[in-house]
Amino acid sequence: DTGVSQNPRHKITKRGQNVTFRCDPISEHNRLYWYRQTLGQGPEFLTYFQNEAQLEKSRLLSDRFSAERPKGSFSTLEIQRTEQGDSAMYLCASSRGTSGGPTYEQYFGPGTRLTVT
Amino acid sequence: AQTVTQSQPEMSVQEAETVTLSCTYDTSENNYYLFWYKQPPSRQMILVIRQEAYKQQNATENRFSVNFQKAAKSFSLKISDSQLGDTAMYFCAFNNAGNMLTFGGGTRLMVKP
């Protein structure tokens, strides 16, 4: 299967701990997106990369959050000093695309469910 | 900033019947894309259908079709011949620059046997 994969699928952590999630996009996709989805709500945009460059960050992405895509392939999302309000599903998506070019569909991974106790 | 509103938190439909999910959006852009995504229980989000704003013809994908009213900023999804496997959360989403998607709050659809 060559879809978007995310690891781990579930993470339970204590408040104040750091956590890191990984996303592997579809191999030919140069764009990678992170979203956060709380229970019963639609996903909210966090950040996105085109190749290795982080092009946009939401104001939701506080300074405790950092995302990287060092070689333009997989990406990691780290949350430092987790808070209970960080409990959510973290979704990764990928697509083709270039700045100013056509809009392509985003394909989503299964998500990482974070529970902060 | 764009906003997307889905006014129906929950809907139900009998198997084999037709159901329409509503979506409205607000934008000052002229060129944009609209999507419907389906999220089955405990499963990942999948694309159902997309519509380019510059196209007047409504998109269709098998049993799924949209009613795109650009002036009214409305983008409803019609599911014909509903199947049990259509039970899911449905999200309407907006994209105007090939970047982030802005999602509505979702409609939970239950298909009853």
Tell me the DSSP string of A68-111.
Answer: E-TTSS-EEEEESS--GGG-EEEEEEEE---TTS-----EE---
> What would the mean pLDDT of A18-23 be, rounded to a whole number?
98
Q: What residues does A68 pair with on adjacent strands?
A: A76
**Per-residue pLDDT, A60:** 82
**Residue ranges, chain B, pLDDT below 70:** 98
State how far the Cα of B92 lies from the Cα of B104, in Å rounded to an integer. Answer: 5
**Per-residue pLDDT, A99:** 67
**Per-residue pLDDT, A72:** 85
Judged by CB atoms closer than 8 Å, whether chains meet at B100 and A33 is answered as yes
Q: In this model, does residue A28 exceed pLDDT 80?
A: yes
State how far the Cα of A29 lies from the Cα of A32, in Å rounded to an integer. Answer: 8
Average pLDDT, chain A: 92
**Per-residue pLDDT, A16:** 97
B63: which 2 tokens?
């049993």
Residue-wise pLDDT tens digits, A34-72: 999 998 899 999 999 999 999 889 988 889 999 999 988
> What would the mean pLDDT of A1-19 be, rounded to a whole number?
93
Percentage of the residues of chain A whose pLDDT score is greater than 70: 94
Q: In this model, does residue A1 exceed pLDDT 60?
A: no
Judged by CB atoms closer than 8 Å, whether chains meet at B98 and A97 is answered as yes
In a mutational test of the B interface, the residue from A9, A38, A106, A107 whose CB has the highest number of chain B CBs within 10 Å is A106
Distance between A72 CA and the closest CA of chain B, angstroms: 17
State how far the Cα of B49 lies from the Cα of B2, in Å rounded to an integer. Answer: 20
Distance between B2 CA and the closest CA of chain A, angstroms: 12
